């Protein structure tokens, strides 16, 4: 397994970059809106690509931007479903931004509604509904709880996660890292419980971002290129210790902020 832990200098760069971009986002609100749009699209594309290797990213770009022929099902049903799910995820993220601005607690309803918005057009009978059968996670040793235990397993930790998340009243150097830690916890919880028949990874990554959005953070885009390292970090984590995933998210977030920093430099230096 591969593990990633930022060096002290890289962690300092992450913190400095976050506060710099937060300041520039406040100074240039239109630029922040544009950056959030770019990250939202990039996140939807890569989150889907992590789960589905059968549709290459070049075609996901076509699907996300509704280019090409109108009826994707005329090519294949799977391709048509990929289009509706990708567009549904991008719309889900827009909805999450509104929910985060209201600082709504993470709840069973929130998690189910996230899933519904992704899958309501491709598999409406499954969308927003917890699984009613046992599942195994491909390529991982972890076995999710019995389907009847899904709500209990989520509730068991959700109150504590909300207390930690909304107990943070201002963002400084330490609380910035605390937000990433809580994001890793809720991300891991959904991935571990695996509450849905399909789409658990997409929901887990999005609910992790929701924790960050409640404190005005930019999205964290987990790129497809990091897939194996990301999955190794998930498997190495446990509820008692989510630090492998937390460390990976620090790395991923540094890469994300580096990605948009050039855009803000362009705006700032105009």
pLDDT at 143 over 90: no
Q: Can you tell me the distance from the alpha carbon of 124 to that of 222, in angstroms, rounded to the nearest whole number?
A: 27
pLDDT at 270 over 90: no
- Tell the burial category of 21 from Cβ atoms under 10 Å away from its Cβ (0-12, 13-18, 19+): buried
| Closest residue by Cα to residue 204 from 94, 65, 74, 43 | 43
pLDDT band at 66 (very low <50, low <70, confident <90, very high): very high
- Tell the burial category of 184 from Cβ atoms under 10 Å away from its Cβ (0-12, 13-18, 19+): buried
Q: Can you tell me the distance from the alpha carbon of 48 to that of 21, in angstroms, rounded to the nearest whole number?
A: 27
Whole-prediction pTM: 0.95
Ordered by start, the domain boundaries in the chain are: 8-263
| Closest residue by Cα to residue 205 from 51, 22, 33 | 51
Q: Are 1 and 236 in contact (CB under 8 A)?
A: yes
Q: To the nearest whole percent, how much of the chain has pLDDT over 90?
A: 92
Selected from 1.20.20.10, 1.10.3290.10, 2.40.10.10, 2.40.50.100, the CATH number assigned to the domain covering 8-263 reads 1.10.3290.10
Q: Can you tell me the distance from the alpha carbon of 114 to that of 88, in angstroms, rounded to the nearest whole number?
A: 10
pLDDT digits 0-9 by tens, 103-126: 999 999 999 999 999 999 999 999
Q: Which residues contact 110 (CB under 8 A, 6 or more apart)?
A: 99, 104, 207, 210
- pLDDT reported for residue 134: 84
- pLDDT reported for residue 139: 66
pLDDT band at 268 (very low <50, low <70, confident <90, very high): confident
């Amino acid at each position: 397994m591969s593990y990633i832990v930022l060096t002290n200098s890289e962690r300092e760069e992450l913190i400095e970059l976050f506060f710099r971009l937060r300041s520039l986002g406040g100074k240039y609100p239109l630029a922040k809106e544009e950056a959030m749009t770019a990250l939202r699209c990039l996140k939807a594309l890569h989150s889907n690509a992590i789960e589905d290797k059968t549709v290459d990213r070049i075609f996901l770009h076509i699907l996300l931007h509704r280019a090409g022929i109108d009826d994707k099902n005329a090519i294949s049903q799977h391709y048509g479903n990929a289009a509706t799910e990708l567009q549904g995820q991008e719309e889900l993220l827009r909805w999450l931004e509104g929910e985060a601005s209201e600082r709504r607690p993470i709840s069973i309803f929130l998690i189910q509604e996230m899933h519904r918005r992704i899958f309501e057009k491709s598999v409406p009978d499954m969308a927003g509904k917890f699984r009613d059968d046992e599942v195994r996670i491909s390529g991982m040793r972890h076995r999710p709880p019995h389907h009847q235990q899904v709500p209990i397993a989520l509730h068991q930790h959700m109150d504590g996660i909300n207390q930690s998340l909304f107990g943070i009243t201002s963002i400084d150097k330490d609380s910035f890292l605390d937000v990433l830690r809580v994001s890793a916890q809720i991300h891991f919880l959904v991935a571990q419980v695996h509450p849905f028949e399909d789409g658990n990874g997409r929901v887990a990554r999005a609910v992790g971002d929701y924790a960050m959005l409640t404190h005005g953070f930019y999205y964290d885009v987990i790129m497809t290129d990091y897939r194996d390292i990301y999955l190794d970090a998930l498997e190495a984590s446990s509820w008692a210790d989510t630090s492998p995933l937390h460390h990976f998210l620090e790395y991923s977030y540094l890469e994300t902020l580096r990605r948009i920093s050039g855009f803000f430099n362009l705006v700032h230096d105009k």
